[in-house]
Amino acid sequence: MAGEEASDSKVSLRTFLEHLSGAGKAIGVLTSGGDAQGMNAAVRAVVRMGIYVGAKVYFIYEGYQGMVDGGSNIVEADWESVSSILQVGGTIIGSARCKAFRTREGRLKAACNLVQRGITNLCVIGGDGSLTGANIFRKEWSGLLEELAQHGEIDKEQVQKHAYLNVVGMVGSIDNDFCGTDMTIGTDSALHRIIEVVDAIMTTAQSHQRTFVLEVMGRHCGYLALVSALACGADWVFLPESPPEEGWQENMCIKLSERAAQASHRRIQQAHALCVPGEPATTFQNRARKKRLNIIIVAEGAIDTQNKPITSEQIKELVVTQLGYDTRVTILGHVQRGGTPSAFDRILASRMGVEAVVALLQATPETPACVVSLSGNQAVRLPLVECVQMTQDVQKAMDERRFKDAVRLRGRSFETNLNTYKRLAIKFPDDQIVKSNCNVAVINVGAPAAGMNAAVRSAVRVGIADGHKMLAIYDGFEGFAKGQVKEIGWGDVGGWTGQGGSILGTKRTLPGKFLEDIAQQMRTHSINALLIIGGFETCDRIKQSASGTKRRVFIIETMGGYCGYLANMGALAAGADAAYIFEEPFDIRDLQSNVEHLTEKMKTTIQRGLVLRNESCSENYTTDFIYQLYSEEGKGVFDCRKNVLGHMQQGGAPSPFDRNFGTKISARAMQWISMKLKESPGKVGGNRYQCRSSVKAGDTRTPFSVDRGKRFVTDDSICVLGISKRNLFFQPVTELKKETDFEHRIPKEQWWLKLRPLMKILAKYEASYEVSDSGQLEHVHHRGHEEPAAI
């Protein structure tokens, strides 16, 4: 744990970066514009990575205003300066608007203050305005220094020594309104705040027959509104990029009233089934009619096709006047900026911060200002000017009422979100849907995981829209073998998105011993295709319990089987000191080294520690063993506590990411199934035993197919849908066999192991670093057909 041997593809990160940077580098880090959760994680990563490679790092307090004012606003940071800030929202170094920096006089003062401290590398965390200002500053830098020398404020030697300024940006914005990156720092946390409110509102709206209009941030970008609507199954959403068509008022009211009628009918049927002996059915019918809610989400910058604002109050008045529904407006406001940053934002910001420092060290006088971005699960660098230009092009398209262009310019992910929402929110009348004469079944397998229900809802609705008859299989393969198969309709999956666990039920039972029974059930129900949802357990958040205590080390055991993803990513998100995983063998010397490392740490002002252990990382070095070793070796220096998180990691409501990802990946799976069924030779409905298709989301174990002696038409008739680098793609199971360690149920190569050095570096360990993908400046371009997905 304390060190790694370098190989042909890896070199010591410190050696690699010192070779590039030389000595005497100074980096200034500032946050500017609106604050966003995760900014502190980015600041921490910049400071620690900078110090790790021998550079000086300076806090620039209060953004550009602090740079202009100088003095105590520019302070050298040390390792301990950024301790215990990962979980803190906002920004510890402050952020302020600065009119002075917009003038040349202001930028002259700022340049003088930086030169006096030898700062020629700037890391700016903010929105497009903040990054644009940094790029202007960079372009003017040599001229500003010449002018300062003429005024006698600096000498010629300083002009030559600090001849050029390097600028790297990280986008901190809860609106996700910056083109060139899949996610900006703070967006995921803002979505958490919104979904928490929506989930709370849904309970009170169910108690009373109410409609809620929820206004979220997004003056120029509808990302928060769109993804929130997708994640909670909202009835209607208003976005600046995609205004509703003329006559939307009538269309929305018709839809709301139809939904109410459908829900009432469905609940009356359920009430009959649940009727208690001795109580009239009409009592249950009346209760059923009253249990109806509508959720309408509005971006604060929502407009109509004439660019006129659509406000929450307007929508409320419309619903009350036309439908007579009890309607309430909730405006979230700055609640969306507050609270603890999510694990996603902590990891994203930490990755971006480290990459930003590497980019600064690799920069030359000819290197343009760049932005560190997220593309799929990859960190990339893009020219700042290109990103800003495309962001401005979106606003221009909206101003000129070219709304289709605005959606396209937002990127493939935004466009896919919008199209997916429309498919899932609006059901066409049955007589307008072309029937495929195909039966498609959906099953959950393995352990329950957050997001499963969102995936089932998405699959059912997309399948119905494609003309298929959708079947639900209850209780996994065991239930399948017993014939627990039932048709499931559009309305049956309403409200499933925010539910935890698996409503269909799931078991870990594998299909092997049930194959004959399952084959019979497939023939009985004429199943043409099977969507399998399940796989290795996942969790999106591990809390750091050590905050607020002194001289104490917490040892936390995480789930994951033999896969160390949770332990590793949890350690990165929580700022842990060590993480023990199966993929990286360790021995008693590593454990002893970690204890010594923590002992030294306790001599500083950072007097707490956190250690994570994957449940199956070692047969002998158990959680109890590690706890006892740390307790014994740390006597007199620190004490220990241990915690086995267990199944609490699988519980609770799914996060916005899990809801959104489950929805989109399942929709893609159903599109693939529909395509395969259309490609099948012969008429699928007429010869149901000729071809079957199967797709599995989220696992690498081999699914099955049984078919009266027939083989698949091609190997890609059975695929796993997942993420590889920047893309979602379907991979035939036959290919996956070569890449999978079936004994331990993990891939032979894990992409996230490349992030392991970051956790070690930020915990002050020596580490190695893979340099093959580093240092390339890419260009902004429109996405291809395959849509990237974030980590």
What pairs with residue 603 in β-bridges?
none
The SS3 of residue 731 is strand
User: What whole-number distance in Å separates Cα of residue 760 and Cα of residue 11?
Assistant: 15
Tell me: pLDDT of 533 over 60.
yes
Residue partners of 102: CB distance under 8 A and separation at least 6? 133
Residue type at position 398 = M
Question: Cα 201–204–207 angle (5° rounding)?
Answer: 150
Among 69, 175, 540, 699, the one annotated catalytic: 175
- The conformation of residue 723, written as its DSSP 8-state character, comes to E
Q: Which residues of 232-244 are buried (b: 16+ CB within 10 A; e: fewer)?
A: bbbbbbbbbbbbb
Given a contact cutoff of 8 angstroms between Cβ atoms, the answer to whether 139 and 365 are in contact is: no
Mean pLDDT value of segment 618-623: 94
Mean pLDDT of 584-594: 93
Secondary structure (3-state) at 697: strand
Q: What is the pLDDT of residues 759-777, one digit of tens each?
A: 889 888 876 655 434 457 7
- Verify whether residue 577 is a known catalytic residue: no
Checking if the pLDDT of 624 tops 90, the result is yes
Question: Which sign, positive or negative, has the C-alpha torsion 293, 216, 301, 327?
Answer: positive
Cβ atoms of 729 and 747 closer than 8 Å? no
CB 623 within 8 A of CB 613: yes
Alpha-carbon Rg for the chain, nearest whole angstrom, is 28
Q: What is the pLDDT of residues 536-565, one digit of tens each?
A: 332 433 333 334 445 788 899 998 889 999
pLDDT mean across residues, the chain: 83
* pLDDT-based confidence at residue 508 (cuts at 50, 70, 90): confident
Per-residue confidence band for 202, with pLDDT thresholds at 50, 70 and 90: confident
What does the pLDDT look like over 253-295, one tens digit per residue?
998 887 665 555 555 454 444 343 344 444 333 333 434 588 9
Distances 321 to 294, 314, 575 between C-alpha atoms, Å? 16, 11, 53
At 658-714, the pLDDT tens digits run 999 899 999 999 999 999 888 875 544 433 333 445 666 654 333 334 344 444 456
pLDDT at 1: 40
- As a dihedral over the C-alpha atoms of residue 265, residue 266, residue 267, residue 268, rounded to 10 degrees, the angle is 50
SS (H, E, C) 175-227: CCCCCCCCCCECHHHHHHHHHHHHHHHHHHHHHCCEEEEEEECCCCCCHHHHH
Cα–Cα dist 648/479, whole Å: 25
Q: Of 461, 411, 478, nearest to 662 (Cα)?
A: 461
pLDDT value of position 699: 43
732 contacts: CB under 8 Å, gap ≥ 6 = 715, 716, 718, 719
Token pair for residue 233? 């199954």
Q: Parallel, antiparallel, or unpaired for β 378-383 and 439-446?
A: unpaired
Q: Is 329 helix (H, G, I), strand (E, B) or coil?
A: strand
Please check whether residue 403 is in contact with residue 241, taking contact to mean a CB–CB distance below 8 angstroms. Answer: yes
Kindly indicate the confidence band of residue 459, based on its pLDDT and cuts at 50, 70 and 90. Answer: very high
pLDDT tens, position by position, 420-452: 999 998 888 888 999 999 999 999 998 888 889
Q: What is the 3-state secondary structure (H, E, C) of 682-751?
A: CCCCCCCCCCCEEEEECCCCCCCCCCCCCCCCCHHHEEEEEEECCEEEEEEHHHHHHHEECCCCEECCCH
User: Of 342, 337, 740, 356, whose CA–CA distance to 569 is shortest?
Assistant: 342
Q: How far apart are CA 272 and CA 360, in angstroms?
A: 68
- Mapped onto helix, strand or coil, the DSSP state of residue 479 is helix
Helices (H), 611-718: 623-633, 656-679
Q: Which amino acid is at 135?
A: N
pLDDT at 619 over 90: yes
Q: 46, 357 in Cβ contact below 8 A?
A: yes
Question: CA-CA distance, 731 to 739, in Å (whole number)?
Answer: 11
At 745, is the pLDDT very low, low, confident or very high (cuts 50, 70, 90)?
A: confident
For residue 409, the model assigns a pLDDT of 92
Whether the predicted pLDDT of 129 surpasses 50: yes
Question: Over the stretch 185-197, which tens digit does the pLDDT of each residue have?
Answer: 999 999 999 999 9
| 4 confidence band (pLDDT: 50, 70, 90) | very low
Query: How are beta strands 121-126 and 10-12 bridged, if at all?
Result: unpaired
pLDDT digits (tens, 9 = 90+) for 474-491: 999 999 999 999 999 999
| Average pLDDT of span 332-344 | 89
Measured CA to CA in angstroms, residue 401 lies from 242, 314, 397, 514, 643 at distances of 10, 22, 6, 58, 56
Residues 711, 691: Cα–Cα separation, whole Å: 8
pLDDT category of residue 133 using cuts at 50, 70 and 90: very high
User: Rounded mean pLDDT of 711-724?
Assistant: 71
**Euclidean distance between CA atoms 186 and 89, whole angstroms:** 9
CA–CA gap between residue 202 and residue 653 (Å, rounded) = 13
- Are 54 and 24 contacting, i.e. CB atoms less than 8 angstroms apart? no
Which has more confidence, 120 or 200? 120
pLDDT, average across residues 506-522: 86
Q: What is the per-residue pLDDT for 112?
A: 96
β-bridge mates for residue 167, sequence order: 122
Percent of the chain whose pLDDT exceeds 90: 56
Its pTM stands at 0.85
* Per-residue burial over 290-324, b = 16 or more CB atoms within 10 Å of its CB, e = otherwise: eebbbbbbbbbbbbeeeeeebebeebbebbeeebe
Scan for tokens 């500053």, then name that residue.
Answer: 137
Q: Could you list the beta-strand ranges (E) of 447-575.
A: 469-473, 485-487, 527-535, 552-558
Dig out the tokens for 149 from the structure. Answer: 């020398």
- Quote the tokens at residue 659: 């809801």
* CA-wise closest residue to 499 among 357, 652, 618, 670: 652
The Cα 244–Cα 238 span in angstroms is 7
* pLDDT per residue as tens digits for the range 354-391: 999 999 999 988 899 999 998 877 888 999 999 999 99
Report the pLDDT averaged over residues 27-53.
Answer: 94
